[in-house]
Structure 1
Amino acid sequence: MLSSQTRWVFHTCAAATVIGLWMLTQPYSGLRHDAILYLAQALKWSRPDQFNQDIFFAFGSQDRYSIYALIFGPIFEQAEVQLVQPLVFGACHAAFLAAIWRLLPDQLGLRQRWLCLAALVLLRPLYGGLSIFSYCEPFLTARTLAEPLALWSLVCLHQQDRPWTAWLLMVLATLIHPLMSLPIAGCLWLMCCVRDRRWLILLPLAGGVVAALTLLGKPPFDGLLKQYPDDWWKLVATNDQVLVKNWRSSNWAAIAVSFAILLGAWPLYRDRHKSLIPALLVSVGVLLALVVLGSQIYRNVLITQLQLWRGLWLVRALAVALTPTLLLAIARKGRSGPATAASMATVVSMANLQWDSAWIGMLWPALHLWIWRTQRSVSTLMLRVSVATSVLAILAIGVSDYFHQRAIPVDDAIFLDFSPLGIALIVSALPALAALAWLWQAHWRARAPLIRKALAYGLPASAIALALTGALLWDRRPPLERYLESHLHTPHPFEAFVPEGTEVYWDNSLAAAWFLLKRPSYYSPAQGAGALFNEATARAWDQRHQAFRALGRRRTSCEVFTMLLGKLPNGSAPCYSLAEHEIQGICQMAADLQFVVSAEPYSHSPLAVWNIPQGHGPLKTQYLYACSSFR
């Protein structure tokens, strides 16, 4: 076989492998998380009468600062979610990976570049606090579009020296999602200043524009001179992922490891490309300091709302992509290189799975790095023991976290419903990467004819098998989500019993109330996302939250029991259930609530009953109740 043919076969296998790994580690769970809020913003374009009355939109929302609804409003007016969402976020993820490929150091070979992409889909994409946000989310939001646009703006400057094209892409990303793109704009500006100091003039110009808009009281810049009042701040402070003081130590450990990886990989960039890493770290570091100063100390409205810590998404993404390159570079240098790389991989595993003990674990690679840098003499036996210890630690971390991940209740909207194979790949990301690196290197360098022939046939077969397995396990949507995504414009049986404009509480599904029943939702925790941006929304949502506080506490405790014990105590109700005494208490406290949809049959007769097509399990049947019957 010719060398060009060998190269073509390898790239095809590598692409199939990355796609298969992506489908296993990024399962499609349907319309969930912030995709529900963004779909509502898009549908509000064609259904203003329905959504203007909803508590999430009634007092104004942040969608006025994004053109997302203008793009997808006309699309979702005609098309179903199941057609649009996977197609768009799949294309955006491909653009994301392609941009990261271009941002990698120039001297990397093609095999290492594919390994970097494999790292991007295997290592967890989580950034920020409480493991809620991630880059390349498996659903459609404005972030889905803004991330690849911001990345390609960096590519245009980093690789092609086209600053005006870069800034055009950055402006477009800002129009779609300013919170995601503004931190990256700082990185882009610093890189421009390194190349041409005339770009420094942009700082006083931008500052003057912001000052003028602030003094004129133009929103959102008027918030720069405002502090949150105590009662509003008390409600904002409950949003744990927004305020960095609420983040866990494991979140900060993951951030520290990402910064360390980027610093370690900085020497891999040469000449004019060396400005990428320092510009990114300086930009994000300054913005994190502003978050602490402006949000935690002065409680500034605008700085808190901008959530400037979101720039960590690119720090995490680039650090993840560079992880195999950095570990291989260290492993190939010096006698203690393999032991040093293995010790670093241990901490990367801890940080990747958000272990609090990652801070203590950092002492292990620190010792090895000191030996590696100073070239201390260490016996071969001790080096082998060190490597074995690190490998055993990585495997133990993976096994422990596998059972923890399997215990997480999948009915919680925060967590994806991973397949067992997907979980196994996530918790053993670094061993999987090591296996890929060995196989791909052997494919090119094997000298024995038998081994070369086995790899020539085995590598394509395994890649195809992985891609097919990923395709079979990718769709993890429950029946309600499947029906919802294909019936966005279909009348629902409950509609005849609920007058238009009447608020409904659909238990466990904000999306069903909005998109199936086509009525305003009375309450959902997700609707509280607007509390950060609007005081009236915060007060109205909190007033309703009081009626559901007992239910929320019970469900939280139930999920904790499930994760700790692996199962609930005998006789306990499932976490997703809604007991009759709970709905009775809610209806009595919420005097303006008229209708409730629940999966539970109560002693009171329902107004209507609906069976989810192809549904199964306890959530198959949904009942519509009049709240007045419980008062």
Structure 2
Amino acid sequence: MLSSLPSLPSRMLDRANAWSPFVIALSVFLLLRPYDGIVHDARLYVGYVLAAWDPQGVGQDIVFVHDGQSGYSIYPALLNLVGRTIGLAKGAMVLSMTALLLWFSAAWRLVWAMFPAMGTTVRAGLLLWATSLHTLYGGASTIHFAENFAAPRPMAEALVLLAMAELLQPKLARQGASYSLRQLGVVGLLIALAAAIHPLMIVPGLAAFVWLVPTARWRALLAGSGAVVLALVLCVSGFSPQGPDTGSLFATFDAVWLEILVRRGSIALLSQWSGVDWARIALQFATLLLARPTVSGRVRALWDATLVAGVAGVLLSWLATDVFHHRLLTQIQPWRVLWAVAFMAPIALLMQVRGLWERSITSARPPEEGPIRLERLAMALLLLAWFMLEVSGAALWVLAGAAMLLGVARSNLSIALGDRTVRVGLGLIGMLVVLLVVLRAFVVWEVYASHPDALSRWVWRTWVTSGLPNAAVLIVALLAACIGARPVRAVVRMAKPMPAVAVMVAVLCVLALDQRTSYAKWLDAQTERPSTLNQVLQNVSSSATVFWLDADTEPWVLLNRPAWGGGLQGTPKVFDRALAVVWEERAQLTDKVTHPTWARRNDLALETVNAATLRTICDWPSGPDMVVAPLDRIGADVPRDTMRTGAPRFLPPSVRKGPWQIITAYGVVRCAERAGFRRAS
């Protein structure tokens, strides 16, 4: 009897083989998201913690004095707790990696719940495809799902994905069966936790709950009631008084606040989204819609809920922001539901490709005949549209062509299409895809070719930016997802190095995980110990404002003082009118002394610091107490103190083929010590 049991090494090898696809997929997922440090929105959340630690210094920055955003999330408190325990820089990295691990695990569970009969290798390929093809959503081409920095969005997304997976569990909620109280409690808890971390990200989870749990009658009642309430709120807000002190449910943006948002730009205003942004949204919606016949049951219901929520979110955002200018709904930003559409759409795309692959093999007729040829062309065009998203809004026209071909292919029409024509079409489309990948890589390498640090051209971070690793992963993921087809399955059966490959990829992931520049590492380290640069300002008040040119968190981290101006401060201006007004006043002041081609739309910038600019900036009633700029941008006649950084900072060229800027030292100009200083009252 004992001899019939498998040996321990055999069982261990089987288990290693079973887990290898997950380990490989997770490692590749993290490799494509190396840690870059305190960047993007992480700068603001780290700032919230620094402001809490130093309320009389950093806390006096206008973005924290007029804070209308952080109170909606527990994430700043979580980062504060972790930062006090292990250090703020380490805490930001730990929270970022934890969120990505949770995100991938939740996505893996959701894919398993959607396709339980799918093998682990196919599941790994499907998930890598979905997280490598195109992760942008919304406007301004700036927000991704599964982001690799310390911010609440990835963690909230992961909890919503877990809630969706719980709603699809085949063993607990069979088609037609009611959900258990345990399931509903777990789903409710996950969505509540996600809301506590980032309330704007939970709409897809709520939509899935409303679509899957109630009966059709209750579903219609809930949806109709919600639509009526929102319509009433919008209609009443159209007649409500507009004023800076209006804070009711029906409050709208007053003319001054709205003009600032329009002039300086805000991601919350859909009217300012570009053609590429709308092409992305249309392609994601269309891909989900075209793939709808490939799934059924609860999976189709989940996709329907995601589609309906996405359309409703975009429509409500447009009505609230650009038509009625409703304050609360604009700040809620219902369009953020698009993160779920952006994740589901690539899954839907690959499921169509995989289904076409299998039909080409198992079709009773030769695959060269009938609609399959036309469907191949349609799928190739759809893939081309996805690869075009980052460069042109013309992806919409390619999408239209793909939809038309797919509609004809799925009809019962008799189609005569030559094999040579199809091969030529597929070849041309393939060449265009390769060209797009090469062009993106060329643009990146052209910029880094002139980088002063030659090693920066070959670090993993540069390769990821070029998009070449993503292209390679997409090819492998496509093959892995088609393992159900007999030719590929036979090849995979012959190769069994999976555990060894998993170990090697995991080791590479650990080695390449931290891709911060030397300057970013040095700057992050200053959050955990007093900066030596503070010695320059020993006799300066801790609440003295600093206008640091081209700065992110430098005034807060290096000088422990509030920043006077910068693009980062204007980011949350949609949440607080006072912040928007003060920031706009300072932006208009710098615009007066800055060349129009130098000033960026959402940044307070100075090209040079000379006597004339200092006279305008420093003498202004609410001007800064100090101006900090690279030494080569300060006039020789301007007195300043010098402070040197612990690592060189490299700023990319502002124009094509321009030189990189190397900053190793800054000059500190104290406005009160400037000759002729006379601040107006």
- TM-score normalised according to structure 2 size: 0.78
Deviates more, 1:266-275 or 1:438-447: 438-447
Q: Is residue 35–residue 141 contact of structure 1 (8 Å, CA) maintained in 2? A: yes
Deviates more, 1:535-544 or 1:430-439: 430-439
- Report whether the alignment pairs 1:181 with 2:202: yes
Secondary structure of the corresponding residue to residue 619 of structure 1: strand
The Cα offsets for residues 459-500 of structure 1, whole Å up to 9 and x where unpaired, read as 666655555555444433223321222231322233241321
Q: Which residue of 1 aligns with 2:285?
A: 259
Q: Which residue of 1 aligns with 2:55?
A: 48
Q: Is residue 124–residue 477 contact of structure 2 (8 Å, CA) maintained in 1? A: no
Deviates more, 1:339-348 or 1:581-590: 581-590
The 3 A distance-change label for structure 1 pair 556 and 320 is farther
Matches within 5 A, 1:191-230: 191-194=212-215, 197=218, 200=221, 222-230=247-255
Q: Which residue of 2 aligns with 1:419?
A: 462
Q: Which residue of 1 aligns with 2:560?
A: 518
Q: Is residue 174–residue 182 contact of structure 1 (8 Å, CA) maintained in 2? A: no
Matches within 5 A, 1:120-159: 120-159=130-169
Matches within 5 A, 1:351-500: 351=389, 353-374=390-411, 376-406=415-445, 418-420=461-463, 422-423=465-466, 424-426=468-470, 430-434=474-478, 436-437=480-481, 445-446=489-490, 455-457=495-497, 466-496=505-535, 497=537, 498-500=540-542
Max radius of gyration: which structure? 2
Q: Which residue of 2 aligns with 1:110?
A: 120
Measure the CA separation in 2 of the matches of 1:372 and 1:358.
21
Which amino acid in structure 2 is aligned with residue 596 of structure 1?
Answer: V
The 3 A distance-change label for structure 1 pair 224 and 87 is same
Q: CA deviation at 1:290?
A: 1.2
Measure the CA separation in 2 of the matches of 1:556 and 1:310.
29
Q: Which residue of 1 aligns with 2:628?
A: 597
Measure the CA separation in 2 of the matches of 1:369 and 1:5.
46
Which amino acid in structure 2 is aligned with residue 585 of structure 1?
Answer: T
Measure the CA separation in 1 of the matches of 2:120 and 2:666.
53
The 3 A distance-change label for structure 1 pair 5 and 59 is closer
Q: Is residue 398–residue 427 contact of structure 1 (8 Å, CA) maintained in 2? A: yes
The 3 A distance-change label for structure 1 pair 407 and 475 is farther
Q: CA deviation at 1:343?
A: 2.6
Q: Which residue of 2 aligns with 1:625?
A: 669
The 3 A distance-change label for structure 1 pair 593 and 493 is same
Q: Which residue of 2 aligns with 1:344?
A: 382
Query: Which residue of 28, 32, 36 corresponds with 1:25?
Result: 32
Which amino acid in structure 2 is aligned with residue 131 of structure 1?
Answer: S
Deviates more, 1:153-162 or 1:279-288: 153-162
Measure the CA separation in 2 of the matches of 1:440 and 1:402.
33
Q: Is residue 204–residue 340 contact of structure 2 (8 Å, CA) maintained in 1? A: no
The Cα offsets for residues 305-349 of structure 1, whole Å up to 9 and x where unpaired, read as 111100001110121233322221123335324443323211222
Q: Is residue 287–residue 345 contact of structure 2 (8 Å, CA) maintained in 1? A: yes
Q: CA deviation at 1:48?
A: 2.4
Q: Is residue 595–residue 607 contact of structure 2 (8 Å, CA) maintained in 1? A: no
Q: Which residue of 1 aligns with 2:640?
A: 606
Q: CA deviation at 1:614?
A: 7.3
Q: CA deviation at 1:120?
A: 3.2
The 3 A distance-change label for structure 1 pair 590 and 169 is farther
Measure the CA separation in 1 of the matches of 2:224 and 2:46.
36
Q: CA deviation at 1:539?
A: 0.7
- Report whether the alignment pairs 1:233 with 2:275: no
Measure the CA separation in 1 of the matches of 2:285 and 2:222.
29
Measure the CA separation in 2 of the matches of 1:203 and 1:175.
26
Query: Which residue of 72, 85, 91 corresponds with 2:92?
Result: 85
- Report whether the alignment pairs 1:539 with 2:581: yes
Secondary structure of the corresponding residue to residue 631 of structure 2: coil
Query: Which residue of 591, 603, 616 corresponds with 1:588?
Result: 616
Structure 1 unmatched runs, 5+: 559-574
- Count of residue pairs the alignment pairs up: 603
The Cα offsets for residues 39-66 of structure 1, whole Å up to 9 and x where unpaired, read as 1223333332234421112233211222
Q: Is residue 127–residue 255 contact of structure 1 (8 Å, CA) maintained in 2? A: yes
Which amino acid in structure 1 is aligned with residue 251 of structure 2?
Answer: K
The 3 A distance-change label for structure 1 pair 242 and 201 is closer
Deviates more, 1:464-473 or 1:361-370: 464-473
- Report whether the alignment pairs 1:294 with 2:333: no
Measure the CA separation in 2 of the matches of 1:3 and 1:266.
42
Q: Is residue 314–residue 335 contact of structure 2 (8 Å, CA) maintained in 1? A: yes
Q: CA deviation at 1:133?
A: 0.8
The 3 A distance-change label for structure 1 pair 419 and 223 is farther
The 3 A distance-change label for structure 1 pair 483 and 442 is farther
Q: Which residue of 1 aligns with 2:345?
A: 319
Q: CA deviation at 1:276?
A: 0.7
Secondary structure of the corresponding residue to residue 48 of structure 1: coil
Secondary structure of the corresponding residue to residue 611 of structure 1: strand
Which amino acid in structure 2 is aligned with residue 543 of structure 1?
Answer: E
Measure the CA separation in 2 of the matches of 1:556 and 1:6.
61
Which amino acid in structure 1 is aligned with residue 132 of structure 2?
Answer: L
Q: Which residue of 1 aligns with 2:545?
A: 503
Which amino acid in structure 1 is aligned with residue 547 of structure 2?
Answer: Y
The Cα offsets for residues 120-163 of structure 1, whole Å up to 9 and x where unpaired, read as 33223110012111111111112132111222222222325412
Measure the CA separation in 1 of the matches of 2:12 and 2:485.
16
- Report whether the alignment pairs 1:163 with 2:184: yes
Which amino acid in structure 2 is aligned with residue 84 of structure 1?
Answer: G
Measure the CA separation in 2 of the matches of 1:583 and 1:508.
19
Q: Is residue 577–residue 599 contact of structure 1 (8 Å, CA) maintained in 2? A: no
The 3 A distance-change label for structure 1 pair 578 and 541 is closer
The 3 A distance-change label for structure 1 pair 201 and 308 is closer
Which amino acid in structure 2 is aligned with residue 425 of structure 1?
Answer: P
Measure the CA separation in 1 of the matches of 2:444 and 2:342.
21
Measure the CA separation in 1 of the matches of 2:590 and 2:439.
35
Measure the CA separation in 2 of the matches of 1:583 and 1:553.
19
Structure 2 unmatched runs, 5+: 1-5, 173-178, 361-366, 368-372, 452-458, 651-660
Which amino acid in structure 2 is aligned with residue 612 of structure 1?
Answer: G
Secondary structure of the corresponding residue to residue 410 of structure 2: helix
Q: CA deviation at 1:393?
A: 1.6
Q: Is residue 261–residue 322 contact of structure 1 (8 Å, CA) maintained in 2? A: yes
Q: Which residue of 1 aligns with 2:454?
A: none
Secondary structure of the corresponding residue to residue 527 of structure 1: helix
Q: CA deviation at 1:296?
A: 0.7
The 3 A distance-change label for structure 1 pair 258 and 489 is same
Q: Name the one with the larger helix percent.
A: 1
- TM-score normalised according to structure 1 size: 0.84
Q: Is residue 599–residue 618 contact of structure 1 (8 Å, CA) maintained in 2? A: no
The 3 A distance-change label for structure 1 pair 618 and 13 is same
Measure the CA separation in 2 of the matches of 1:232 and 1:326.
46
